[in-house]
Amino acid sequence: MKLIYLYNDQRQLDHSELVDDDYQLPANATDIRPQDGLYEPLTFTGSDWTGVTREEWLANQPEPEPTQPTEQDKINAQLLMADATNRAAQDKFNAQIMLEIANAKGGN
């Protein structure tokens, strides 16, 4: 088995596929692996792959849209806080009961 890299009409990486060793490469594919450290878009030159730097890639990424929590998100957060508070209170109660039991057993 070998990994091949298929590219589109602009010679940019489209996807990769695992194929049998005797697989005949189509015209838009290569078995040359892109070098580590390249960022998309990756372009096949005919003998190797070129890409952009991490800084260029980051500069071309859209700014994330700020999202507001939905009403369900707010309700879920309140329920999680209530659950955490209840668990803490239950743990404290359990510790007090265990201490009382230990004191009662030690007193007999």
User: Is pTM, for the whole model, over 0.85?
Assistant: no
| Top-confidence residue, 93 or 105 | 93
Q: What is the pLDDT of residue 106?
A: 79
Per residue in 4-35, pLDDT (tens digit) is 999 999 999 999 999 999 999 999 999 999 99
Q: Parallel, antiparallel, or unpaired for β 29-30 and 39-44?
A: unpaired
Residue-by-residue DSSP string for 11-69: SBEEEEEEE-TTPPPPTTEE-PPPPTT-EEEEEE-SSSEEEE-HHHHHHTSPPPPP-PP
Rounded to 5°, the CA angle 14-12-4 comes to: 50
Average pLDDT over residues 72-90: 97
Gap between the Cα atoms of 84 and 93, Å rounded = 14
DSSP code of residue 9: T
108 confidence band (pLDDT: 50, 70, 90) = low
pLDDT tens readout for residues 52-78: 989 999 999 999 999 999 999 999 999
Mean pLDDT of the region 26-53: 95
User: Is the peptide bond prior to 26 cis by the omega test (within 30 degrees of 0)?
Assistant: no
Question: Can you tell me whether residue 103 is helix, strand or coil?
Answer: helix
**Averaged pLDDT, 79-86:** 97
